[in-house]
Amino acid sequence: MSAIPAPAPPRDAELPAPVERVLDNGLRVIAFSQRNLPLIAAQLVVGCGGVAEREEEAGLAALVAALLTHGTTRRSATEMSAAVDALGARFDAISGFDASVLSVSATTPAFPQAFALLDEVVRQPAFAPDEVERVRTKSISDLALTYANPSGLARLVAQRVAYGGAPYGHPLAGTAATLGALGRDRVAWFHERFYRPDDAVLVIGGDVSADDAFALAERELRSWRVPGTPIGELPQGPVPPPRERTVVIDKPDAGRTALYAGRVTIPRRSPDYYSALVAMAVLSGYSGRLNQEIRVKRGLSYGAGASLAARRMEGLFTAATMVDHARAAETAEVMRATIRSLAGAPASDDDLVSRKATVTGSFYRSIETIDGIAGTLTEHVLYDVPLGEMREYAPRVRAVDANAVREFAARELIPDEFLVLVGDASKFADELVRAHADARVIPFERLDLGSPSLGA
């Protein structure tokens, strides 16, 4: 039988080179041309995410973004939805901590009309009282579903433990209390204050030349005016070490215990970002260290992995799994030891090759579409990363060696790490406290994610 041929050496994708201009109103426009499909996409990044809202108004930025597609001064929510559907377009508006993003994509012939709808949505939202109430009520219902899920709740608690009262600490979606206090006046105020061309970037590209993309942006958005009120200074870091290292949310009705470990780490623009990606890959996936130690060797869980939430300021590293309540304390120690192994037991060359292939493969899949390329450029804009770095992604990942992963782990993943468990504490708290004397147990009914101290 003939031998299986060796895989070909990796090839870098041919990515479009973005071109920039700035309109007279201060709007930065980034255009790219990728003419393999008759599609055009645009993403408008407005620098007003959750960081711009006060603790007591957590969820305001997300509420505003959600309401943008629920009607304008010219069309009701139903009419807007019908207009988008008639064009076969895709329309979305979301808010993160660092910014809010409005996205639209359509076929080449329909795109000018679809883009005009984006202009209408961003500049003429109605914020009709009945729509505000409808979206707010749905948001509160969604929170209840998240809180009922141990993993979803643990993720929110981990974020609050990691950042405390610093930016990124409060829940982006808000709480029932903060959302309940938000009305149309505050929604309209936030939009008027922060949705402005001098703090926005438009990424537009696909089956269009750069010149035509700039002309379209100029035609639709040149009359967007800068408000007279300045933006003001938004909160900045640094993030202090967590006040508590180990937090347990006692939720007796949870079917299993959700476990999160992690710490605040590098921002997206850090030169260590690519070492971080490879480190996450070494920890994650079926053959990753966390899954091998927790699932394969010990049968403690159906799976475990790690992730890095890269942001404009300090990001967040987390490792997560779900386990039987009685094995939660044991799993916590296995998870911590596995994370620490990155600093003491370097990945082998063979392991690094496969892990780096996972990272680059994921990146290439993300840019297979026009929307994907636009989204990648948007991420670079959002996190203050040079646009040219998109074309350097794969070479930078391949340049990461075992020593870079080890040094990153020792410096950024291990010191001051926290531990969060959500489950039936009666089944594991005593064992956990023997290893973590500082562990604090908070009954679920007393938990307040709106408070840096978690309300207890």
The predicted-structure confidence for 408-429, as pLDDT tens digits, reads as follows 999 999 877 899 999 999 999 9
Find the range with the poorest average confidence among 94-103, 200-209, 340-349. Answer: 340-349
Q: Can the peptide bond before residue 125 be classed as cis, meaning omega within 30 degrees of 0?
A: no
Residue 64's pLDDT is what?
Answer: 98
Q: Model confidence at 6, in pLDDT bands (50, 70, 90)?
A: confident
CA atoms within 13 A on the CB side of 368: 7
Contacts of 37 (CB under 8 A, 6+ apart): 206, 207, 370
Residue 233's pLDDT is what?
Answer: 77
40 alpha carbon, distance to own chain's centre: 24
Residue 1's pLDDT is what?
Answer: 55
Task: Please measure the distance between the N-terminal and C-terminal CA atoms of the chain and give it in whole angstroms.
Answer: 68
Cβ atoms of 93 and 127 within 8 Å: the answer is no
Residue 2's pLDDT is what?
Answer: 66
Cβ atoms of 67 and 100 within 8 Å: the answer is no
Contacts of 47 (CB under 8 A, 6+ apart): 98, 99, 194, 199, 200, 231
How do strand 200-206 and strand 28-33 relate by DSSP bridges?
parallel
pLDDT of 220 higher than 60: yes
Average pLDDT (54-72) is 97
The predicted-structure confidence for 298-345, as pLDDT tens digits, reads as follows 999 999 999 999 999 999 999 999 999 999 999 999 999 999 999 998
Q: Model confidence at 456, in pLDDT bands (50, 70, 90)?
A: low
Cβ atoms of 48 and 124 within 8 Å: the answer is no
Cβ atoms of 372 and 366 within 8 Å: the answer is yes
Contacts of 245 (CB under 8 A, 6+ apart): 416, 417, 418, 419, 436, 438
- The long-range contacts involving 86-94, CB below 8 angstroms and separated by at least 24 positions, are 87/113, 87/114, 87/117, 89/114, 89/117, 90/371, 91/117, 91/118, 91/121, 93/65, 93/66, 93/68, 93/69, 93/121, 94/62, 94/65
Q: Model confidence at 35, in pLDDT bands (50, 70, 90)?
A: very high
Looking at this protein, which amino acid is placed at residue 53? E
Residue 431's pLDDT is what?
Answer: 97
Residue 154: which of 240, 309, 239, 262 has the closest Cα?
Answer: 262
pLDDT of 117 higher than 90: yes
What is the per-residue DSSP string for 336-380?
HHHHHHHHHSPPPHHHHHHHHHHHHHHHHHHTSSHHHHHHHHHHH
Residue 116's pLDDT is what?
Answer: 98
**Percent helix, strand, coil in the chain (nearest 5)?**
45, 20, 35
pLDDT of 242 higher than 80: no
Cβ atoms of 262 and 436 within 8 Å: the answer is no
Average pLDDT (447-452) is 95
